[in-house]
Amino acid sequence: MKSPFAFVWNLCLVYLCYMLCRMAYLVENYATWGSTIWENEWLDLLKGSLLFDTSAILYTNILYAVLMLLPLPWVETRRWQQTTKVWFLLSNGLALCTNLCDSVYFKYTGRRTTATVWREFKGEDNLTHVIGTEILNHWYLVLLGIGMLILLIWLYRTPRTYHPKGREAIYYYVRQTVSLLLFAPLAVCGMRGGFTKAVRPITLSNAHQYVNRPSEAAVILNTPFSLIRTIGKGKSIVPAYFGSDELDNLYNPIHNPEKNKQPMTRKNVVVLIVESFGREYIGAYNENLEHGTYQGYTPFTDQLYEASMSFDYTFCNGRKSIDGMPSILSSIPMFVEPFFLTPASMNEVGGLARELGREGYTSAFFHGAQNGSMGFQAFARATGFEHYYGRTEYNKDTRFGGDKDFDGTWAIWDEPFLQYYALQMSQLEEPFLTAVFTASSHHPYAIPDAYKNIYLEEGDNPIHKCIRYTDHALQLFFETARKQPWFDNTIFVLTSDHTNLSDHVEYKTDLGGFGSPILFYDPSGTLFPAGRRHQIAQQIDIMPTLLSALGYTHPYIAFGKDLLHTPDEETWAVNYNNGIYQYVKGNYLLQFDGTKTIGLYDIQNDWMQTNNLTGKGIPEERPLTDALKAIVQSYMERMDNDSLILK
């Protein structure tokens, strides 16, 4: 058997062993899932398992691949192949061992083991005894591991050893070179979890896409993948600024709504998360910009602003698209690392879909990119969304142009996808919660050909034409939505995932870079009357504010505040900027590096942050610092303890 064919055969053996480990994992922890695991679609389980197994197998066998496919004559020698086989057995034997060990450890953690395990057990001197005891208690897993190793040895195929000469040597070099060149891009795609540029490298949280319950994600994952993808992304160290009682007095994310005598208002909720739609681009927010002459690029959004509840200061809680969903839909800010990329992403997570689902709401998330892109589908499912509509579902709808409406890079153009969104909601049972994540106002800053002579380049900022196009798409969306039977009984929320390219110095400051719109539009004007409130608002406030407006009565966890019932002077915002926590309240912006306050600015009179007031006797400095510490400590504790929902 020639080297490329032997290589493929041997990797198939590893796939088989990974599946055997998964079955052992299921049997060992059957009491955790019982028969509920089979309530998932078995094709989803298989697809997800193969996705993560492929990534792990390629990570752990990359050196083996090079050893087998190098276009060098000594690859075919007996000694080289013996060495290669030993490496294959060692690397894959270790991977299989971690899978089997983790099937035992799962019952203590409820998740696959991540790289934080090294920190968790650092300094422990009794691990040898513990491991020895577990080996004796689970002798059958030891036998299974030995059996799989024997299987690999028995069925392993070693390429025939020979010394190619003449024409055969030419064929050999061509074959090996082509095989290696073909393997390289396939390996990259396999490790990333997809072939298109719209797919981010898969992480632990992507497993939620294939299961119904967070705990079941462990079945889809494998331990080598979990270890590899969390190296360097360990749990953040939980600070101990305050004792538990003092911490709860300073800040507590548990919301306990008052029990209303009146029944809950069962209005629909529609959340529009508009890609890169920064506050800077919206003229209505910037009446004083450019000495009062600034018009912005969003004539329709300006009109929507006048009909909506708005706020003096509005901020996003992160600077990446993957920060937007947790903040907006689950009231989880971004601290240190995007939530999607941390081990905490495997925690049980709540959110609007989960809470409103308790009240019988139908829920659906819409994103016009390839299904699974950015981990959005997985996060939506993990937080309780019942339905997901992506590029796959859009392409099946004969009312629209299918992949002809694909922008060639990221997703379906905003105009057709928002039309699809409006019409698809009419097929949902009311009351419903839906959210859409748009895509067109994004690098490479392209717009459909039909609009290239309408929305021209403006200045040196290429995103402006995209903002105009997306604003027009929003206008058409609302025109269609107004004709739907659910429109008058709906609350609309408009915000952005983050900001983007900036022209004005006011939006290039540490704080200005987080300026995102937050609008609550209620066509009936009852729950959110139009007008600008003198408050500070942030994305993580959206969830508690909506639940409060609807009269939701169950306790829940949200790191934001209810804007409707928080005094203006008590509103605040928090974000994390290149290693620095920022906290805005009243007239001040406070910056904190996790240990000490490094900046305090009077943003009412010093928006450009030129005069640092730290240590200059400002009485607000201490209470602001304590408040920020309490938020950070509470966040880290709940991430570390898997207590993001009330159980």
Per-residue pLDDT tens over the stretch 412-422: 999 999 999 99
Q: What percent of the chain has pLDDT over 70?
A: 94
- φ, ψ dihedrals at 366, nearest 5°: -125, 130
**462 CB-contact burial (10 Å; exposed 0-12 / middle 13-18 / buried 19+):** middle
**Straight-line distance from the first to the last Cα atom of the chain, in angstroms, rounded to the nearest whole number:** 57
Domain shared by 183 and 320, yes or no: no
Q: What is the pLDDT of residue 441?
A: 94
Checking if the pLDDT of 197 tops 70, the result is no
Q: What is the pLDDT of residue 551?
A: 95
Domain shared by 203 and 271, yes or no: no
Residue 258 lies in a domain: no
Checking if the pLDDT of 124 tops 60, the result is no
- Band of pLDDT at residue 331, cut at 50, 70 and 90: very high
Lowest mean pLDDT among 290-294, 456-460, 604-608: 456-460
| Separation of alpha carbons 252 and 254, rounded Å | 6
Residue 623 lies in a domain: no
Checking if the pLDDT of 294 tops 80, the result is yes
Domain shared by 306 and 218, yes or no: no
Q: What is the pLDDT of residue 237?
A: 80
Largest CA distance in the chain: 91
Residue 135 lies in a domain: yes
Query: Stretch 535-544: mean pLDDT, rounded?
Result: 98
Residues in the chain: 647
Q: What is the pLDDT of residue 159?
A: 85
Checking if the pLDDT of 228 tops 80, the result is yes
Contact at 8 Å (CB) between 624 and 583? yes
Domain shared by 366 and 437, yes or no: yes
**358 CB-contact burial (10 Å; exposed 0-12 / middle 13-18 / buried 19+):** exposed
Domain shared by 279 and 403, yes or no: yes
Q: What percent of the chain has pLDDT over 90?
A: 70
- Band of pLDDT at residue 118, cut at 50, 70 and 90: low
Strands 387-389 and 572-577 turn out to be unpaired
Domain shared by 407 and 278, yes or no: yes
Per-residue pLDDT tens over the stretch 139-162: 999 999 999 999 999 999 998 766
Selection from 24-38, 335-349, 631-645 with the highest mean pLDDT: 631-645
Which residue, of 565, 581, 607, is where some domain finishes? 565
Domain shared by 273 and 223, yes or no: no
Checking if the pLDDT of 136 tops 60, the result is yes
| Separation of alpha carbons 347 and 344, rounded Å | 5
Query: Stretch 340-353: mean pLDDT, rounded?
Result: 85
Q: What is the pLDDT of residue 199?
A: 61
Checking if the pLDDT of 120 tops 60, the result is no
Give the residue among 212, 198, 437 at the shortest CA–CA distance from 326.
437
- Band of pLDDT at residue 179, cut at 50, 70 and 90: confident
Per-residue pLDDT tens over the stretch 556-589: 999 999 999 999 999 999 999 878 899 999 999 9
* CB proximity list for 299: less than 8 A, separation 6 or greater: 283, 471
Which pTM value belongs to this model?
0.85
Domain shared by 186 and 317, yes or no: no
Residue 297 lies in a domain: yes
Residue 307 lies in a domain: yes
Residue 595 lies in a domain: no
Q: Read off the amino acid at residue 331.
A: S
- Band of pLDDT at residue 30, cut at 50, 70 and 90: confident
Which residue, of 181, 212, 229, is where some domain finishes? 229
Q: What is the pLDDT of residue 329?
A: 98
| Separation of alpha carbons 281 and 465, rounded Å | 11
Q: Read off the amino acid at residue 250.
A: L
Q: What is the pLDDT of residue 122?
A: 58
Residue 605 lies in a domain: no
Q: What is the pLDDT of residue 119?
A: 59
Domain shared by 186 and 282, yes or no: no
Residue 252 lies in a domain: no
Query: Stretch 180-188: mean pLDDT, rounded?
Result: 90
Checking if the pLDDT of 628 tops 90, the result is yes
Which residue, of 212, 229, 246, is where some domain finishes? 229
Q: What is the pLDDT of residue 92?
A: 97
Domain shared by 184 and 285, yes or no: no
Query: Stretch 95-109: mean pLDDT, rounded?
Result: 87
Q: What is the pLDDT of residue 206?
A: 85
| Separation of alpha carbons 610 and 612, rounded Å | 6
Contact at 8 Å (CB) between 364 and 353? no
Query: Stretch 432-446: mean pLDDT, rounded?
Result: 94
Domain shared by 68 and 133, yes or no: yes
Query: Stretch 330-343: mean pLDDT, rounded?
Result: 87
**CATH number assigned to the domain comprising residue 404:** 3.40.720.10
**To the nearest whole number, what is the mean pLDDT of the chain?**
91
Q: What is the pLDDT of residue 459?
A: 86
Q: What is the pLDDT of residue 160?
A: 74
Domain shared by 207 and 284, yes or no: no
- Band of pLDDT at residue 176, cut at 50, 70 and 90: confident
Token representation of residue 3: 């080297």
* Residue range of the domain that includes 314: 267-565
Checking if the pLDDT of 501 tops 90, the result is no
Three-state SS annotation for 429-441: CCCEEEEEECCCC
Domain count, the chain: 2
